[in-house]
């Protein structure tokens, strides 16, 4: 099968790698986003997909607006590809592009559609506390993740998993599912299934304000926000931003906590604090500060103070001589 691969971030790399490793698949070219300037030196940086494509000597196109790029459109048309494979490319494909390949444009989306259509399905599934997510392959249409579904693969979400952890699992799953999908379409053994629009949910673009922590929320809601938007959630400590990278909700789902943390349950079970949300109400040795929330207690396992590297919650306690009663405020609004 002759393929063109559309993708940009690290999430798409395992899918491209899986197709390149399959003898019956031939990746003719790669389409990815233009290089961007990053870092303190503002140097141009290639996307992870482009870097892999270069290592394999593939033809690469990087149109700023693919729907308007006449040269790229004509080049794609002349390839006579069997399928375009799309994984987190980052641009909308026009009806003209969707109609080019024999089998259509096949997308691997990071949710169990029709749940979490949109830009950030993995992150929002964690923020909302789901215990399962997955990959759906679909035939793309002109809508936002509205195409007919082809195959699904699910994976559990553990209480301590971050969006990065889940994305790594799903990225590998996507590669395998895409291969199976392409084979099924070529063999005419797959029947596309329309999505039920009436039960669809959405995963919008993440905004900077979504990273701000509000300790008036429950411990489990804060924990889900922190792991869903890892590593970007922020509180305020001593009038400086404090990134909160790892937490554990205490007293709610203790049986899902790591065993070594469960062994310390008597510590937080003995806390009978009547303190405002954001107040340090306990110090768990070798772990970190226990903070009162609007409902329940939250252990700060890993943080990143302003201008410093990430550190364990216990190092943060010792380095700042944290005491019971000290405040940790909400992030900026």
For the chain, how many helices (H) and strands (E)? 10, 17
Check residue 333 and give its pLDDT.
Answer: 55
pLDDT, mean of residues 211-218: 97
Check residue 278 and give its pLDDT.
Answer: 96
Entry field: residues in the chain: 333
User: 54-72, pLDDT tens digit by residue?
Assistant: 999 999 999 999 999 999 9
User: 271-322, pLDDT tens digit by residue?
Assistant: 987 899 999 999 999 999 999 999 999 999 999 999 999 999 999 999 999 9
Pick from 65, 57, 32, 59: nearest CA to 46: 32
Query: Which H or E element spans position 95?
Result: helix 95-98
Share of the chain above pLDDT 70, in %: 99
User: 4-30, pLDDT tens digit by residue?
Assistant: 999 999 999 999 999 999 999 999 999
CATH code, residues 2-203: 3.40.50.170
Check residue 192 and give its pLDDT.
Answer: 95
pLDDT band of 43, cuts 50, 70, 90: confident
Instruction: List Cα–Cα distances, 147 to 121, 138, 172, 228, in angstroms.
Output: 16, 6, 22, 26
Distance CA 155, CA 148 (A): 21
* Third-level CATH fold of 208-319: 3.10.25
User: 237-268, pLDDT tens digit by residue?
Assistant: 999 999 999 999 998 898 999 999 999 999 99
Check residue 332 and give its pLDDT.
Answer: 81
Check residue 44 and give its pLDDT.
Answer: 81
Distance CA 112, CA 197 (A): 13
Distance CA 88, CA 36 (A): 16
Give the residue extent of every domain in the chain.
2-203, 208-319
pLDDT band of 172, cuts 50, 70, 90: very high
Check residue 115 and give its pLDDT.
Answer: 97
* Residue 98 region by backbone torsions, left for phi larger than 0, else alpha for psi between -120 and 50, else beta: alpha
User: 174-200, pLDDT tens digit by residue?
Assistant: 999 999 999 999 999 999 999 999 999
Q: What is the mean pLDDT of the chain?
A: 95
| Residue 86, φ and ψ in degrees, nearest 5 | -120, 120
pLDDT, mean of residues 40-57: 89
On whether the CB atoms of residues 93 and 86 are closer than 8 A, the answer is yes
Check residue 110 and give its pLDDT.
Answer: 97
What DSSP character marks residue 331? Answer: P
């Amino acid at each position: 099968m002759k393929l063109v691969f559309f993708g940009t971030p690290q999430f798409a790399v395992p899918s491209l790698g899986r197709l390149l490793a399959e003898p019956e698949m031939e990746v003719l070219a790669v389409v990815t986003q233009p290089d961007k300037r990053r870092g303190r030196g503002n140097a141009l940086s290639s996307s992870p997909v482009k870097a892999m494509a270069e290592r394999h000597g593939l033809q690469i196109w990087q149109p700023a607006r693919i729907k308007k790029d006449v040269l790229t459109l004509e080049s794609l048309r002349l390839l006579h590809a069997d399928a375009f494979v799309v994984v987190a490319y980052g641009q909308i494909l026009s009806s003209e592009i969707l109609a080019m390949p024999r089998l259509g444009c096949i997308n691997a989306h990071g949710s169990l559609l029709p749940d979490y259509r949109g830009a950030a399905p993995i992150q929002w599934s964690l923020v909302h506390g789901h215990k399962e997510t997955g990959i759906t392959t679909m035939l793309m249409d002109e809508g936002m993740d509205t195409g007919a579904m082809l195959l699904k693969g699910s994976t559990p979400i553990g209480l301590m998993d971050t969006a990065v952890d889940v994305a790594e699992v799903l990225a590998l799953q996507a590669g395998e599912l895409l291969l199976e999908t392409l084979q099924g379409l070529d063999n005419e053994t797959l029947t596309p299934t329309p999505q039920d629009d009436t039960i669809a949910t959405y995963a919008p673009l993440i905004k900077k304000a979504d990273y701000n922590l509000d300790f008036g929320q429950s411990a489990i809601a804060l924990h889900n926000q922190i792991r869903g938007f890892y590593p970007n959630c922020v509180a305020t400590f001593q009038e400086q931003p404090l990134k909160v990278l790892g937490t554990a909700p205490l007293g709610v789902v203790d049986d899902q906590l790591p065993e070594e943390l469960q062994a310390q349950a008597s510590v937080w079970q003995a806390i009978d604090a009547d303190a405002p949300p954001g107040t340090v109400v306990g110090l768990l040795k070798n772990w970190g500060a226990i903070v009162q929330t609007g409902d329940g207690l939250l252990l700060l396992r890993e943080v990143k103070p302003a201008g410093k590297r990430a550190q364990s919650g216990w190092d943060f306690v010792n380095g700042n001589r944290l005491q019971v009663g000290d405040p940790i405020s909400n992030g900026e609004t």
